[in-house]
Amino acid sequence: MRIDICFLIAFFVCMELVFIGISTYRENRKVMFPYKFNVKVIKCEICSYVYVVSPHTVFSKCPMCLSINKLS
């Protein structure tokens, strides 16, 4: 009986560690990769220069001609 309780405690501790590891791994992926894949390709209406911006911005400034482009 005593061995069973010890085994259960060890089992739950291991499970908790696995869950912490998985959630930490997911958080790290969330933190590290959004900027790599979450970009929007914008073509400037004035000079046709193509550049990338964050999809959360509404207006973007063209790095070539410095005109403001609205994201559709």
Span from 6-14, 15-23, 25-33, 46-54 in contact with Zn ion (CB under 5 A): 46-54
Is there a contact between 53 and 63 (Cβ–Cβ < 8 Å)? no
Question: Which residue in this structure is represented by tokens 């790095």?
Answer: 63
51 is a contact residue toward Zn ion (CB under 5 A) = no
Least separation, in Å, of the C-beta of 23 and Zn ion? 43
Is there a contact between 13 and 20 (Cβ–Cβ < 8 Å)? no
9 is a contact residue toward Zn ion (CB under 5 A) = no
Q: Which residues pair with 47 in a beta bridge?
A: none
Which residues would be at the binding site for Zn ion (CB under 5 A)? Answer: 44, 46-47, 49, 62, 64-65
